[in-house]
Structure 1
Amino acid sequence: MAPVTYIDGVPIGATAILVALISSMGGFMFGYDTGQISDILIMEDFKRRFAECAPAASLELIDVSTCSFSTVRSGCIVAFLSIGTLLGCLFGAPVSEVFGRRYAMVAECCVFFVGEVIQITSSQHWVQYAIGRIVTGLGIGALSAAVPMYQAETSPSQIRGPVNAMYQFFVTFGILMAYCISTGSRELEGAGQWRLVLGLGFCWPTILAIGIQFLPESPRWLATKGRDEEARRSIARVRGVTGNSGVFKISKGSEKEDALKERWNGLIDRELEEIRSTIEYESHLGTGTWIDCFRPQNKILYRTLLGMAIQTFQQLTGANYFFYYGATIFGSVGLSDSFITQIILGAVNFVCTFFGLIVFQKFGRRWPLILGGLWQSAWLFVFGAMGTALDPTESKIAGQIMILASCMFILGFASTWAPGAWVIIGETFPMRTRAKQSALATASNWLWNFLLAFFTPFITKAIKFQYGFVFAACNLMGALIVYFFLYESAGLTLEAVEMMYNDPNCHAWSSATWAPAGYKDRADMTSQINKENNKETVEHVSDAGSDVAQEHRI
């Protein structure tokens, strides 16, 4: 096994890339369920079956023009998913602690399957469909806590930011895919309109449940269980090199592979030792109960509240206002085909999230979130002001400006707050309480997801497009919270992040220059680590045995 590339002089293996791609299918499932409901609610057959319609002799004879969802019913159908996700992420924490991150994901995929079956077999009772969304939400919620945690614990620190951001990238991919499939399926007759959309949802958890079996378990979880040899092998796999032959009692391969293993044993040993040292230190602090998440010592409470605030304000940016009710919103501004507009908005979201992968790799965590909040706030003010000053159903220009403002808002959200919240959750908490703090933070996301999904129809009915002003103010508040409370964790191992939060001389606004003892600042740390890694540069002997190929570096 050989590395596929090198970053900062250290190897990155193909397994690290697969960790990002396969585990992020949990995000795809989340996005697909989020995106589909907006369009399903306006499909004719779905309205005939589950909306309030004028009486008719049979289902087929119902005049769909007489059908409409009450505010309460549409709010319940949309928002009940979030009730399940809220409970799921809390129950998912102990499951991932006991059985490991990978097996927990498999169990959560099975729960998702059950929810899909309940929904797709619904006939004319909207309550059954809503219950199916609750059960589906249990699986999605548990995955939303497990996947970012698994990605952060397993990925090399050099690519941890993009790997965690990949979760949100797949969320946006799922939303876009749902929009596209829904647009095509609306041409079908009868229940096939919406059941096809639901039926394809069985594919995504199948890919995750099977694919995750071929990936290594989190080395940090393995180390907490005393399985150090397996943890070492896990680290080696994501680095693209195998573990020490003597330690694992595996037969030697080719001379080229043996040289590769020996060359990078020092790097693997250092990473494992850092993990073990942190676990040994934390073992003296207790077992990491739910109560421990709210203890002020070692800034545990601080980080619990910070994680919950970041996830709360990701929802209060207003993004799901567009994703859940986008088809309805764009219909209200006079667009003849709101399905197509949904696809355009989903495409902007998807493409810009790819940009977000680069942003968090190059510019850290704090400033993308701060500037993103300011950008989003500005465009939401435009959206709210235009919709309040002019009637978009009568003014074509007003409607076009509101669509532009929506796209500009999504551009900022998709490249900053959308992936950023999941990156922060993956790398902010200490090992012994990480699963539970991640669950609490994610539960905050889902709680506000539910509140917004359920109450948005009531609020928009009362204040219409002035709702944009509310979200604009929330974006400003989110930017302030990041500036004063979030520490810059880019470029640090998870163990170094723990040290940073416990350094009394370090503050959020000065954390970008912080480095562990022995280094002058973050730049000096990066420089010295690169020099150390370069001492272990791999020299690949050519197949002919006479040439030496220089190392490929990024």
Structure 2
Amino acid sequence: MASQGAQTTAAATTTHADQRPKSLADFDPPQKPKRNKYAFACAMLASMTSILLGYDIGVMSGAAIYIKKDLKISDVQVEVLVGILNLYSLLGSAAAGRTSDWIGRRYTIVLAGAIFFAGALLMGFATNYAFLMVGRFVAGIGVGYALMIAPVYTAEVSPASSRGFLTSFPEVFINAGILLGYVSNYAFSKLSLHLGWRMMLGIGAIPSVLLAVGVLAMPESPRWLVMQGRLGDARKVLNRTSDSKDEAALRLADIKEAAGIPQECNDDVVQVEKRSHGEGVWRELLLHPTPAVRHCLICAVGIHFFQQSSGIDAVVLYSPRIFEKAGITSDDLKLLATVAVGFVKTLFILVATFLLDRIGRRPLLLSSVAGMILSLATLGFSLTVIDHSHVRIPWAVGLALTTVLSYVAFFSIGMGPITWVYSSEIFPLQLRAQGASMGVAMNRVTSGVLSMSFISLYEAISIGGAFFLFAGIATVAWLFFYTMLPETQGKTLEEMQVLFGNFHWLRDSKRKKRNTKLFGNGDGNSDGSSNVQLGPVSKPIIN
């Protein structure tokens, strides 16, 4: 063979018998590691808890039509009923950070499923509005737990090479749950008025049981295990969820360093003291944060705020009303149109999962928000034309339906998944659970306020004006993301700390890229920077 001949020639010319001969394969670029199937399965199981929120969002958009008719409630009561779960989930997400540090990530997921199971049953058997609100409260606590813990667990178990892909799974399953909720609306809409909406809500108890049982087959998060001093268990999990043994050893060393455990500590020799149950975390997050932690917190809270304030819940929860304003009056056609929304959201979130680790977070996020701005502005224009016309305008109706679909598509391909990926990966180890829970808390508050006021909002400033407002908020979001969020693609969770705390990172990043283009990589610097300076630089560039 040619490669063997090349090796023989190289061996004959070498002067050292122990020198390994070189072949052409030695100079090939390193191959991209294969996707870790075990980590994939763990991320899949954990993220499926997000179906609970998605199903509730999707099913309530249609069930509210029949609940209003059956219980004879007002529009304000419908707003409260639809949106209050988001505020209730705030309590769950706030408690989940401390709970997950205390009992572990895995059992927190089980707890989320059990709480939502009880809430779904209460809603399904509700006899009046007050009883229904009690069920919403219990289900909201379970949703809050699931929203916080699924992306945290997935980020902590995933290798860096595929963390973006795996950590986007919660958003995938939120969208899958929304689609299931829309399908459930259409399927049970043929039942009697008294039974139909109760079946829509109560059937959500079934997946929560299956998920809680399935999660028990998952391992615990290796980072939580290290925080408890269980280094041997953490090593076993890392060996199975890493792309190689070397990467597993490196990840363990990084986690030990982040947790403040000396590298010489060996689980077989030294009994390591349990590190943390979450004590002192809030002080480090809020009272005396370092510049890096403050930057992380601003980014996490900001991205969650803009995800919801740009109008996604208004479109998903009130899509039947939007389609009615666009000129569709039949209940069946409105529900079919919402199914189309759910299908498009799910399709494009699947596309996004394969782009996160190839394109990167920033390009995908900025492109997504730009598309959302265009879609929202066009939707506002078309609805304004329809609202001010006394006759049906087919092109405006078609434009409204098309832009609703394009909006959810652009949202799902970037803003939707990246919010959960980004906020779950940027915090230091000790602060990750509570830091992520603060982001989720902002997400739920903003979602709750929006979903409980959307009807009143569009009645005050018109349906078109509401979407022009969302377009303006999305524009501010684009500027925030461009200036504040550094790229995290391919970084380990422990390497994130060097990306944050320098609020001039964007300027420094551009300078570094300019130097790389001018001087290449020939000066021996592994990061592509140059020893030749274009001007005075008072400190090293950190990117």
Residues 185, 522 of structure 1: alpha-carbon distance in 2 compared, 3 angstrom cutoff: farther
Match of 2:375 in 1: 379
- Distance in 1, Cα, partners of 2:225 & 2:528: 29
| TM-score between both structures, scaled by the size of structure 2 | 0.82
Match of 1:320 in 2: 313
- Distance in 2, Cα, partners of 1:298 & 1:136: 37
Q: 1:39 offset after TM fit, Å?
A: 0.3
**Equivalent residues of 2:305, 2:443 under 8 A apart:** yes
- Distance in 2, Cα, partners of 1:140 & 1:272: 31
Query: What does the per-residue CA deviation read over 1:269-306, in whole Å, with 9 as the maximum and x for residues that have no partner?
Result: 2221121112117989x954212112341421221122
Residues 16, 110 of structure 1: alpha-carbon distance in 2 compared, 3 angstrom cutoff: same
Q: 1:502 offset after TM fit, Å?
A: 4.8
**Equivalent residues of 1:483, 1:508 under 8 A apart:** no
For 2:296, which of 295, 303, 317 is the aligned residue?
303
1:118 aligns with 2:122: yes
1:180 aligns with 2:172: no
Query: What does the per-residue CA deviation read over 1:144-181, in whole Å, with 9 as the maximum and x for residues that have no partner?
Result: 11110000001111110011111101111110111111
Query: What does the per-residue CA deviation read over 1:248-274, in whole Å, with 9 as the maximum and x for residues that have no partner?
Result: xxxxxxxxxxxxxxxx54332222112
Deviates more, 1:22-31 or 1:196-205: 196-205
**Equivalent residues of 1:513, 1:521 under 8 A apart:** no
Match of 1:537 in 2: none
**Equivalent residues of 2:53, 2:174 under 8 A apart:** yes
- Distance in 2, Cα, partners of 1:519 & 1:87: 49
**Equivalent residues of 1:487, 1:512 under 8 A apart:** no
Residues 480, 364 of structure 1: alpha-carbon distance in 2 compared, 3 angstrom cutoff: same
Query: What does the per-residue CA deviation read over 1:389-429, in whole Å, with 9 as the maximum and x for residues that have no partner?
Result: 33377222211111111111111101010101001111111
For 1:213, which of 194, 213, 216 is the aligned residue?
216
Q: 1:41 offset after TM fit, Å?
A: 1.2
Q: 1:522 offset after TM fit, Å?
A: 8.1
1:354 aligns with 2:375: no
Alignment of 1:149-548 (within 5 A): 149-239=152-242, 264-280=244-260, 287-294=279-286, 295-335=288-328, 336=330, 337-391=333-387, 394-464=392-462, 465-502=464-501, 506-507=505-506, 510=509, 520-521=526-527
3-state SS of 1:429 partner: coil
Query: What does the per-residue CA deviation read over 1:468-487, in whole Å, with 9 as the maximum and x for residues that have no partner?
Result: 11110111111111111111
**Equivalent residues of 1:318, 1:471 under 8 A apart:** yes
Deviates more, 1:71-80 or 1:183-192: 183-192
1:35 aligns with 2:53: no
For 1:23, which of 16, 26, 46 is the aligned residue?
46
Residues 331, 151 of structure 1: alpha-carbon distance in 2 compared, 3 angstrom cutoff: same
Q: 1:490 offset after TM fit, Å?
A: 0.3
- Distance in 2, Cα, partners of 1:438 & 1:512: 32
Q: Which runs of 5+ in 1 are unaligned?
A: 1-6, 53-69, 241-263, 525-554
Match of 2:149 in 1: 146
Q: What's the Cα RMSD here?
A: 2.5
- Distance in 2, Cα, partners of 1:522 & 1:168: 35
Match of 1:14 in 2: 37
For 1:91, which of 66, 90, 95 is the aligned residue?
95
Q: What amino acid maps onto 2:429 in structure 1?
A: M
| TM-score between both structures, scaled by the size of structure 1 | 0.81
Match of 1:250 in 2: none
- Distance in 2, Cα, partners of 1:168 & 1:512: 35
Residues 512, 414 of structure 1: alpha-carbon distance in 2 compared, 3 angstrom cutoff: farther
3-state SS of 2:65 partner: coil
Q: Which runs of 5+ in 2 are unaligned?
A: 1-29, 263-274, 517-523, 531-543
Alignment of 1:125-144 (within 5 A): 125-144=128-147
**Equivalent residues of 1:232, 1:272 under 8 A apart:** yes
Deviates more, 1:388-397 or 1:478-487: 388-397
Number of matched pairs: 472
Query: What does the per-residue CA deviation read over 1:322-346, in whole Å, with 9 as the maximum and x for residues that have no partner?
Result: 1110011112221131011101111
Alignment of 1:26-65 (within 5 A): 26-43=49-66, 46-52=67-73
Q: What amino acid maps onto 2:47 in structure 1?
A: S
Q: 1:379 offset after TM fit, Å?
A: 1.3
- Distance in 2, Cα, partners of 1:48 & 1:440: 37
Match of 1:530 in 2: none
- Distance in 1, Cα, partners of 2:478 & 2:69: 44
Match of 2:17 in 1: none
Query: What does the per-residue CA deviation read over 1:425-450, in whole Å, with 9 as the maximum and x for residues that have no partner?
Result: 11111111111111111000000000
Deviates more, 1:231-240 or 1:464-473: 231-240
**Equivalent residues of 1:488, 1:512 under 8 A apart:** no
Alignment of 1:64-83 (within 5 A): 70-83=74-87
Q: What amino acid maps onto 2:290 in structure 1?
A: Q
- Distance in 2, Cα, partners of 1:323 & 1:183: 15
**Equivalent residues of 2:43, 2:157 under 8 A apart:** no
- Distance in 2, Cα, partners of 1:519 & 1:143: 44
- Distance in 1, Cα, partners of 2:212 & 2:386: 50
**Equivalent residues of 1:164, 1:422 under 8 A apart:** yes
- Distance in 1, Cα, partners of 2:501 & 2:197: 51
Residues 235, 8 of structure 1: alpha-carbon distance in 2 compared, 3 angstrom cutoff: farther
- Distance in 1, Cα, partners of 2:245 & 2:147: 34
Residues 229, 522 of structure 1: alpha-carbon distance in 2 compared, 3 angstrom cutoff: farther
Residues 190, 424 of structure 1: alpha-carbon distance in 2 compared, 3 angstrom cutoff: same
3-state SS of 2:101 partner: helix
Q: What amino acid maps onto 1:315 in structure 2?
A: Q
- Distance in 1, Cα, partners of 2:280 & 2:31: 34
Query: What does the per-residue CA deviation read over 1:59-88, in whole Å, with 9 as the maximum and x for residues that have no partner?
Result: xxxxxxxxxxx2310111101101211111
Q: What amino acid maps onto 1:50 in structure 2?
A: L
Q: What amino acid maps onto 1:445 in structure 2?
A: N
Query: What does the per-residue CA deviation read over 1:176-209, in whole Å, with 9 as the maximum and x for residues that have no partner?
Result: 1111111011111243312222232112222221
Residues 265, 239 of structure 1: alpha-carbon distance in 2 compared, 3 angstrom cutoff: closer
Q: 1:509 offset after TM fit, Å?
A: 7.3
